[in-house]
Structure 1
């Protein structure tokens, strides 16, 4: 993830800066496609092969450009501090709807708002980085990213099951077997992020979304910290207070163990109906996080009590998961004794929550105070932002699955001596985490495409380590859409 979006979040004058607790709303959709994953959350024995895509093959004249005019707004799903989350439907070249409908979560960010604060700009870049690079069954997928003079657009999968927060509110509390299912899927997502050197730092019920079958996906990566190795620490004050680890509150430096504290806080919330430490106001909540003793209800089993005590250790070095084995000791804890991790990561276990939506356009599992509103967009004040600043260069992105679909088009086979034509599975197209230097050296002229299993004729040098995924915000009405095509982004290989 090197390049224009690979930033360190530095503090001016060596001082940390407190971030607000603006709510972020993300939505995604279950794409119905699945492949086998190993216990580490990576695809099993995928063979990678290089397919060179030139500028002509990636963006030939007969391939449409994706931009705002490619989508019709369906509903407002939520609002955050930097914009709105919209349910958007993709239209074909003739502005007709697809059958079945192609629905996405559209996150729209105003450049002028983000550009006012260096840290907001850095967090936006970090989120864009992570959404592109991370692919996992329990992490939201990014399909497109493009920009206009005044706005940034992230087009993500839409998950009609809404936020885990909504279901937790309806249930009151989860039974332990139900909690263990969702905590297990969340744990696997966080474990995968950690293997990529990413700290999540914003785990809360609002950032856990459910797909159409009831499986979870993490979303909202604006507060993530990249390029963290074992033992590394960072000092940014961020997150949601009720789920924030003591070392973040103290600003004493923190590492990956903060995510395991947040997992414990979320587990406590699931099993009791409230976070473990909360006060009448922000100051009192922080004081409880730092000083209050953990209180456990008597109805919890010994296994649940034991795991909560180990995850909610105020000293991060004593916290379960803080060592070099990361998630492994948590997964082996007796609370998860009935969990088959291989089945869980491959979604072979039926989710406890059934998603009862009546149609593809049913948004009943999102907050009615938003969905009842008419989506609209305020005008962009271009006087406070100059396009010449170029701070968002390289934002454009098209998902590998989209490019893999392009690779099956006839015009590609006509361009090179690749005969007989080999078949590829678009859903298994993923980026390899060893390609960073290759991208820098080759100006993004090639992608790694996973071939079908057991093909038997892959090159011996083909890499086998695969990284695999993806939040949504700031609406626009149909009058705000640019129909000239001049501001839209073509489906080209991302520029780093």
Structure 2
């Protein structure tokens, strides 16, 4: 039987939140396997990597003075008053991540001192790449996800624009991503892997219930919130209006997480998300990818034909779950049926999970991030100009009309 995840966790480990950069070891291994990722023009969008260089050893939990953690981070969603639609209402802090189209900043809403993450996109690059449709699609999906108020999906607080940039004001998740955690802690014990996998299962359940397939589930898109729970982020490659039984042939995702049917350009279902979950679970426990190769062609052949190597140290339940999720034939894959997540939740690996209790977030997480001193980097006026340089040529009024209707604020 697998370890009991909650009773064995007397108190969560507290780790400082990550800084900017790409972690080494596991992070480098992941980078090397992901460099060949591809996507179709239909789904091209600004994706960002938020990872870390190094992490100190566990430290004392911070009290944050008179500001509660929830007030500081807005962990339960946006404040009562709607977020503003101007960058002038925020203090920008350190860069959390970078992508082709812009950067992600830690930010503080001046009126309430609430921390958030602001993703900036350069209009000129979006226009040049003909990505306007994709940006609006991501915004639409984030609005739908936010309206669900689900505890394992990231929230969108607001979107607004300036003459040269688009801005997504997002929930800030100070614990970093799973890549960051693995780089710091090494392979997870089954109890810890079970905890995080349960978070992902519940998040995917809500996405699929809302007819959304993620299509880019990976370590970097799974981030830890202020309370230590995992949330699914980055819906740049997601597809909405995707019901049970629907199919797509769009090639998109990250190579080492791709299901065989995507690689073979077959019509695929939302079962591709369950395959990606199997890869994530394998990496958490084994500290390596289930399919490895020197180049993309060899990697794809391995995904098509090889059985992932498992050690006898793993429980039978963990081995069974991994193999059921990494089933080559999607019709036989765990989660493929209309029952979807219910089928996955019923697996013996999760026998000790009380799903209702888990959904209410009443369990002790494996660790909590240290959020002390987060506001310091947002109160430096010189930070506000970082990465927000104007384009070489002004954007025409006709081009500006393409972004009409982008502004939004959560109720």
TM superposition score category, shorter chain reference: 0.7 to 0.9
Q: Secondary structure of 1:125's partner?
A: helix
- For 1:268 and 1:71, the matched residues in 2 are separated by 40
Gaps of 5+ in 2: 1-38, 52-69, 378-382
* Matching of residues 279-358 of structure 1 within 5 Å: 279-358=293-372
1:263 correspondence with 2:314? no
- For 1:65 and 1:167, the matched residues in 2 are separated by 33
- In structure 2, the CA distance between the partners of 1:77 and 1:257, relative to structure 1 (3 Å rule), is same
- For 1:392 and 1:334, the matched residues in 2 are separated by 49
| Matching residue within 120, 126, 131 for 1:114 | 126
| Matching residue within 100, 122, 127 for 1:81 | 100
- For 1:393 and 1:75, the matched residues in 2 are separated by 29
- For 2:396 and 2:267, the matched residues in 1 are separated by 34
- For 2:141 and 2:267, the matched residues in 1 are separated by 22
- For 2:123 and 2:374, the matched residues in 1 are separated by 31
Q: Secondary structure of 1:390's partner?
A: helix
Q: Secondary structure of 1:377's partner?
A: coil
Distance apart, 1:121 and its partner CA: 2.6
Which structure has more RCO (C-alpha within 8 Å, separation ≥ 6)?
Answer: 1
Q: Is the 2:214–2:238 contact (alpha carbons within 8 Å) kept by the matching residues of 1? A: yes
| Matching residue within 70, 73, 80 for 2:89 | 70
Residue in 1 that maps onto 2:259: 245
| Matching residue within 138, 157, 160 for 1:127 | 138
Distance apart, 1:386 and its partner CA: 5.0
- In structure 2, the CA distance between the partners of 1:254 and 1:86, relative to structure 1 (3 Å rule), is same
Q: TM-score, normalised by structure 1?
A: 0.64
Give the structure with the higher percent helix. Answer: 2
Q: Is the 1:30–1:211 contact (alpha carbons within 8 Å) kept by the matching residues of 2? A: no
Q: Is the 1:234–1:253 contact (alpha carbons within 8 Å) kept by the matching residues of 2? A: yes
| Matching residue within 26, 48, 52 for 1:24 | 48
- In structure 2, the CA distance between the partners of 1:19 and 1:242, relative to structure 1 (3 Å rule), is farther
- In structure 2, the CA distance between the partners of 1:396 and 1:374, relative to structure 1 (3 Å rule), is closer
- In structure 2, the CA distance between the partners of 1:388 and 1:246, relative to structure 1 (3 Å rule), is same
Q: Is the 1:132–1:142 contact (alpha carbons within 8 Å) kept by the matching residues of 2? A: yes
| Matching residue within 141, 151, 155 for 2:169 | 155
Distance apart, 1:359 and its partner CA: 2.8
- In structure 2, the CA distance between the partners of 1:398 and 1:224, relative to structure 1 (3 Å rule), is same
Residue in 2 that maps onto 1:375: 386
Q: Is the 1:179–1:271 contact (alpha carbons within 8 Å) kept by the matching residues of 2? A: yes
Residue in 1 that maps onto 2:211: 197
Residue in 2 that maps onto 1:173: 187
* Matching of residues 209-224 of structure 1 within 5 Å: 209-224=223-238
Q: Which has the larger radius of gyration?
A: 1
- For 2:84 and 2:376, the matched residues in 1 are separated by 28
- In structure 2, the CA distance between the partners of 1:285 and 1:225, relative to structure 1 (3 Å rule), is same
Residue in 1 that maps onto 2:110: 91
RMSD: 2.8
Q: Deviations over 1:448-485 (max 9, x none)?
A: xxxxxxxxxxxxxxxxxxxxxxxxxxxxxxxxxxxxxx
- In structure 2, the CA distance between the partners of 1:145 and 1:242, relative to structure 1 (3 Å rule), is same
Tell me whether 390-399 or 372-381 shows the greater mean CA deviation: 372-381
Residue in 2 that maps onto 1:398: 409
- For 2:45 and 2:347, the matched residues in 1 are separated by 32
1:105 correspondence with 2:131? no
Gaps of 5+ in 1: 1-14, 35-58, 93-97, 364-371, 401-496
- For 1:340 and 1:375, the matched residues in 2 are separated by 46
Q: Deviations over 1:165-188 (max 9, x none)?
A: 101111111111111111001110
- In structure 2, the CA distance between the partners of 1:22 and 1:286, relative to structure 1 (3 Å rule), is farther
- In structure 2, the CA distance between the partners of 1:338 and 1:287, relative to structure 1 (3 Å rule), is same
- For 2:121 and 2:83, the matched residues in 1 are separated by 24
